[in-house]
Amino acid sequence: MTSRVLVLGGTGEARRLAAALTDAGVDVVSSLAGRVAEPVLPPGQVRIGGFGGVAGLVAWLRAAPTAAVVDATHPFAAGMTAAAAEASTVTGVPLLRLQRPGWTARPGDDWRRVDSLAEAAAAVVGFGSVFVTTGRQGLAAFADVPGHCLVRSVDPPAPPLPRRATVLLARGPFTVADERALLRRHAVEVVVTKDSGGSMTAAKLTAARELGLPVVLVRRPPLPPGIPVVPTVEAVLARIRSCAI
Ligand code: NAP
C-alpha cells in the first residue's frame, strides 16, 4: 500500500476517501481551500489554504515527499484541477482524478444545459422567481437578473448579489420533501444549478421534476487531458491497493 497520499478536498468524496485511506493505514494529508468558515474536517492530517499556484504546489510536493495525489475537488474547481495536473507533470508525482458522474435527466425533467453562469443568468430572464443554487462564488453573473432570486449557499455570499435576492444559508444533504416545500414556499419558477452530480444536493432536481419546474444546468468545465479519472472512492482505493495510481 502506498505510504503517503495528498487528497485535494472540499467534497464529501474527499472526506470519505481520507477516512478509508486512514483506516487502511495510509498516511493521508487532506488539503482544503479554506473557503468555508466551518468546514467538515476529514480524518487524518489536514492543511488549509491555497498552495500559491502551480509553483507553490510543486514546492509543497517536493518539501514533503508524496507517493500520489488524488484530486477529489469539486467538478467545478477547475483552477485547482489544472494546477494539480501541471504540478504532477513537473514533479512526476502520480495524479488521479476522483470525479463523481454528472446528473442524468429522467423522464419528466425539463433541463436546459448551458456552458457558464452567464448563460444561466441569460436563461432565467423572464422568470419571476429563480432558485439559484450555484454556490456563493460567481453570483455576480446574476446581478442583472430581473426576477426575484432565492440564493442558497453554505456561507454568506459576497456581493454583488442579484438585484432582488433572498439569501438562505444551508448545508446539504437536503430531502426531497424539504426541497419541494422550499420551492413552493418561494413560488419558484425555475431552478439554476451546476451539474455537480452526487446525491447530497440532487433532491432539488427531483422536487423540480415533481413540480414541473425547468432546471438550468451549468455544464462542467473540461478536465485536463491525460489524467486518469475514476468515479468513486472505491475505485481510488482499488488503484492505490494495486499500486496502479
Ligand atoms: P478553484 O477555483 O479551482 O481554485 C482556486 C484556488 O483555490 C486554487 O488555485 C488554489 O489556490 C485554491 N484551492 C482550491 N481547492 C483547493 C484545495 N483543495 N486545497 C488547497 N487549495 C485549494 O476552486 P474553487 O472552485 O474556488 O473551490 C474551492 C474549494 O471548494 C475546492 O476545494 C472545491 O473542492 C470546493 N468546492 C467547490 C465548489 C464549486 O462549485 N466550485 C463546490 C463545492 C466545493 P492556490 O492557487 O493558491 O493553490
Q: Distance, CA 225 to ligand 1 centroid (Å)?
A: 19
CB 111 within 8 A of CB 214: yes
Report how far ligand 1's centroid is from the alpha carbon of 155 (Å).
Answer: 15
- Domains of the chain in sequence order: 4-101+221-241 (3.40.50.720), 111-218 (3.40.50.1000)
Distance CA 198, CA 181 (A): 21
- The tens digit of pLDDT for each residue in 136-191 reads 999 999 999 999 999 999 999 989 999 999 999 999 999 999 999 999 999 999 99
Q: Tens digit of pLDDT for each residue in 78-101?
A: 999 999 999 999 999 999 999 999
How much of the chain, in percent, has pLDDT values that exceed 90?
A: 90
- Between the CA of 221 and the centroid of ligand 1 the distance, in Å, is 14
Which ligand 1 atom sits closest to the C-alpha of 81? 3
Alpha carbons 52 and 134: distance in angstroms, whole number:
25
Residue whose CA is at the smallest distance from ligand 1 atom 27: 77
Between the CA of 211 and the centroid of ligand 1 the distance, in Å, is: 34
The 3-state DSSP composition of the chain as helix, strand, coil percent (nearest 5) reads 30, 20, 45
Cell 456552458 locates to 115
Q: Confirm or reject: Cβ of 33 under 6 Å from ligand 1.
A: yes
